[in-house]
Chains A and B, each alone.
Chain A
Amino acid sequence: RKEVEQDPGPFNVPEGATVAFNCTYSNSASQSFFWYRQDCRKEPKLLMSVYSSGNEDGRFTAQLNRASQYISLLIRDSKLSDSATYLCVVNKGGKLIFGTGTRLQVFP
């Protein structure tokens, strides 16, 4: 079983839609969590950290459920520019473990 698992997608959604991605992790000792965004053939960039109480940044909301060991990312009012791959990342003992990513395609 992979340490961090994500649905690879693709999720094809129209502009303005709300879309949610989930990610599960296997190590209950994981300490911190992130969502990174990666555009095609480019470097990953931090989208947001995920806090235990949940956090919001504009149209993006991240949630953490430690009991069930999953992390979610909600994108509201999707834009064409949101098309990318979203990587779930877990810090295990100071080392980042990356999921394989969920691909999002927003169409007009």
Chain B
Amino acid sequence: ELKVEQNPLFLSMQEGKNYTIYCNYSTTSDRLYWYRQDPGKSLESLFVLLSNGAVKQEGRLMASLDTKARLSTLHITAAVHDLSATYFCAVDLWAISGGYNKLIFGAGTRLAVHP
């Protein structure tokens, strides 16, 4: 059974600091996605990583994918309060699903950025 593990599950950061969220998974996949969820809201797509070595950046967030290590990272640079949210990674087993995006989600990392 595929396991997707995020760590940490809770992260309290000071504004201006850097930190990395890790997403490990237990089976082969070359597709991984990162989502942001604000309390009581839906999921917002942040990054779509479709191959080994993929790196994408948007503002203070940068995501990367190492399919050999089965690891994705979400790096936060100079955190600001607006980044406070829960971040999910999701591994896509589309290659073995029979034709659809079979997403397996991690439990989420709850990020709180404070002054």
User: Do A and B originate from a single complex?
Assistant: no
| B residues with CB within 8 A of A | none
